[in-house]
Amino acid sequence: MANAQNGAAPLAGRRAAVTGSTSGIGLAIANALAAAGADVALNGFGDAQPAIAEVSAHGTRVIFANADLSDGDAAEAWVREVQAGLGGLDILVNNAGIQHVEAIETFPNDKWNAILAINLSSNFHTMKAAIPAMKAQNWGRIVNIASAHGLVASPFKSAYVAAKHGVLGLTKTAALELAETLITVNAICPGFVDTPLVQGQIADQAKANNMSEEQVIRDVILASQPSKRFVPPADVAAMVAYLCSEAAGGITGSALSIDGGWTAR
């Protein structure tokens, strides 16, 4: 496993996989890792071609491996496919996630199960499949994209909040299990980032609260974010790239907030 260790391409020679990287934060992460010199495996639903073209522009190797990661066996098989495609795996970013906003008493069971499966259980399955080879090479970086909702709750987001709190527990447990290796495991807790997922929540929250979408942005979504600004996807991605660097080798088991002051309240 080569790593040039130079300032221009600090992740040169590293092989990275980012779940849910066809849009939003995951696509920004894939771009940041490729810009830092890593080869990258993309994954996600929808037309992957625009994401493949965008990330390929950085000049490193880009592959796409399709899988519905809410299926545990498929998630583990996806890691094996990525390892074969890239010749190994040094960096795993668990980013794929979905949301549904509704009161507990009417929250559909299938939505609960789907959110727990993709937002929490997929992280377990991909880590389970990736860790043995990372241990064998004694180097790895695992970054789980949690949320401010991994630290605090909001009404009508029971499954999402439960899953993201679970991601932080899983992250801490894995970090402790791997603490004496050169594999770090961390979580990032973004506040509101302007992505397709949030655009969907704006519509759902408007329905749940009987408000206009403009009111929801001002009084509901950014009401909890003291900065009153969405976090740019590229800023979350830069945090991931830092956690994947050599300089971040001492950071493990942490939940890093990037939330415009949300959890400072």
Can you give the binding site for ligand NAD, defined by CB under 6 A?
19-20, 22-26, 43-46, 68-70, 95-98, 118-119, 145, 147, 190, 192-193, 195-198
Distance of CA 153 to the CA centre of its chain: 19
Q: C-beta of 155: minimal distance to ligand NAD in Å?
A: 17
Residue whose CB is less far from ligand NAD, 68 or 204: 68
Closest CA to 144 of 180, 80, 104, 95: 95
Q: C-beta of 236: minimal distance to ligand NAD in Å?
A: 8
Residue whose CB is less far from ligand NAD, 112 or 192: 192
H-run or E-run covering 136? helix 122-137
Query: 187 and 252 in contact (C-beta within 8 Å)?
Result: no
Residue whose CB is less far from ligand NAD, 28 or 35: 28
Q: C-beta of 193: minimal distance to ligand NAD in Å?
A: 4
Active-site entry in 64, 78, 160, 230: 160
Q: Which long-range contacts (CB under 8 A, 24 or more apart) does 167-172 make?
A: 167/94, 167/119, 167/120, 167/123, 168/255, 170/120, 170/123, 170/124, 170/127, 170/144, 171/142, 171/144, 171/146, 171/253, 171/255, 172/253
Residue whose CB is less far from ligand NAD, 139 or 262: 262
Query: 179 and 252 in contact (C-beta within 8 Å)?
Result: yes
Query: 233 and 194 in contact (C-beta within 8 Å)?
Result: yes
Size (the chain), residues: 265
Q: C-beta of 181: minimal distance to ligand NAD in Å?
A: 26
Residue whose CB is less far from ligand NAD, 78 or 139: 78
Q: C-beta of 70: minimal distance to ligand NAD in Å?
A: 4
- Which residues neighbour 169 within 8 Å (Cβ) at sequence distance 6 or greater? none
Reduce the DSSP state of residue 224 to 3 states and report it: coil
Quote the crossing angle between the two packed helices 72-86 and 122-137, to the nearest 10°.
30
- The dihedral built from the CA positions of residue 26, 29, 34 and 40, taken in this order, carries a sign that is negative
Q: C-beta of 198: minimal distance to ligand NAD in Å?
A: 4
Query: 159 and 102 in contact (C-beta within 8 Å)?
Result: no
Residue whose CB is less far from ligand NAD, 9 or 239: 239
Asked about 160 being catalytic, the answer comes back as yes
Supply the residues annotated as catalytic: 160
